[in-house]
Amino acid sequence: MTGEYQRPLAAPGGLRLHLNENTAGCSPRVLAALEALTGEDIAFYPDYGDVEHETAAFLGVPRNQLVLTNGLDEGIFVAIVAAARETVAGESGIRPEVVVPLPAFDMYGVTARAVGAQVVEVPPQQGFRLPVASLLAAITPRTRIVFVTSPNNPTGVRVSLDEIGEVSAALPPGGIVFVDEAYHDFCGDTALPLLATRSNVIVGRTFAKGHGLAALRVGCLIGHAEVLARIRTIVPPYSLNVCAAAGLRAALGDRDRLAWYVAQVDRSRRLIYTLCDRLGLTYWESGANFVLVRVGARADEVVSKLAAQSIFVRDRSGEPGCAGCVRITAGVVDHTEQCLLALEEILCGVR
């Protein structure tokens, strides 16, 4: 383990179904907003207080419970830094613990290790449901943050509000449960209702997926005003650049585009399930814009044969519990159909 995020590669021009991106591209309104920027807009430091306000209204949360970040990656980074610097009562100088149920998005472990925290990994259970009992057993007085991803990446499996509530209730004082809702747009699940009664829950969102702003880098954290006030002391003052702020405003205004894309994802997921059922392949019902499929021991061969046709999917067979699995982005239906046609031919040995 290098402790460093490994960037997955893909040749330009092919079908990028390996990074859970929005395969339709952003709303044309975003491009128009970028074109409308002036020389001064680019020359001056960005002031995006209004956009933060509009984003809070879009998400239905009070303004003081939201902070915009440079992608959700930065949200994860600042939450870990904030959590790791909280001292455990009566035990200064101890190593803070970050609990990560596996398989998980790489950046939790990468970031936690970077700040010197101890990463406590919890193995998966059958069906990839959140392993609540072992998660609770992994919590100690030194636990500063527990990551729960719903729907999870790379499995697509959703976590219930009750399960998140159980984790939140088991945390020591100062501990936080970070609910990563990067894929919220594709299932609607959210832990936001928990904020009414629990101050130790932070919800993370990104505008990379449903809104297609991955390259602009926009995410946010939502949490109790007091918790976010501590996090704001860490977030740089100009986390969002002027393009990201203008693009976000335009994307939020195009609700039809989001609804259309979410419907494409839903149809694509169902096409993947149908092929898997027909070929007898195991898959996990997904709340996200991808599906994890067990193609068998030949996962790496399947990935490289698809890549030879410029169709890129992600080999996840090295992840805990994911032997023989590939993750396929479910986006524009036409792209999914092309991928599934090629996949079926490969698996049936036609080529």
Ligand X SMILES: Cc1ncc(COP(=O)(O)O)c(C=O)c1O
Q: What are phi and psi of 15, to 5 degrees?
A: -90, 110
The distance from CA 119 to its chain's CA centroid, rounded to whole angstroms, is 19
Question: How far is CA 77 from each of CA 67, 92, 235, 237, rounded to the nearest angstrom?
Answer: 13, 22, 9, 15
User: x/- site string to ligand X, residues 57 to 76, per CB under 6 A?
Assistant: --------------xxx---
Site for ligand X in 90-129 (CB under 6 A): 105
Q: What are phi and psi of 160, to 5 degrees?
A: -80, 160
Decide if residue 293 touches ligand X (CB under 6 A).
no
CB of 266 to ligand X, least distance (A): 19
Nearer to ligand X, 58 or 337 (CB): 58
Nearer to ligand X, 180 or 185 (CB): 180
Nearer to ligand X, 8 or 127 (CB): 8
d(CA 138, CA 258): 38
Nearer to ligand X, 73 or 319 (CB): 73
Q: Where are the beta strands (DSSP E) in 224-351?
A: 282-283, 290-294, 311-312, 314-315, 325-329
Q: Which one among 79, 88, 146, 182 touches ligand X, defined by CB under 6 A?
A: 182
Structure tokens at 204: 């993370």
Q: Per residue in 81-90, is it b (16+ CB within 10 Å) or e — as a string?
A: bbbbeeebee
Decide if residue 206 touches ligand X (CB under 6 A).
yes
Q: Which one among 16, 17, 20, 46 touches ligand X, defined by CB under 6 A?
A: 20
Structure tokens at 318: 């090295």
Give the other-Cβ count within 10 Å of 54's Cβ: 16
Decide if residue 195 touches ligand X (CB under 6 A).
no
Q: What are phi and psi of 37, to 5 degrees?
A: -65, 145
- The count of chain residues that interact with ligand X, using the rule CB under 6 A, is 13
Decide if residue 149 touches ligand X (CB under 6 A).
yes
Q: What residue number has its CB nearest to ligand X?
A: 71
Nearer to ligand X, 314 or 335 (CB): 314
CB of 276 to ligand X, least distance (A): 22
Structure tokens at 222: 């939502």
Residue given tokens 């990935």 in the structure block: 303
Decide if residue 208 touches ligand X (CB under 6 A).
yes
Nearer to ligand X, 244 or 342 (CB): 244
Q: Which residues bind ligand X (CB under 6 A)?
A: 20, 71-73, 105, 149, 153, 180, 182, 206, 208, 214, 219
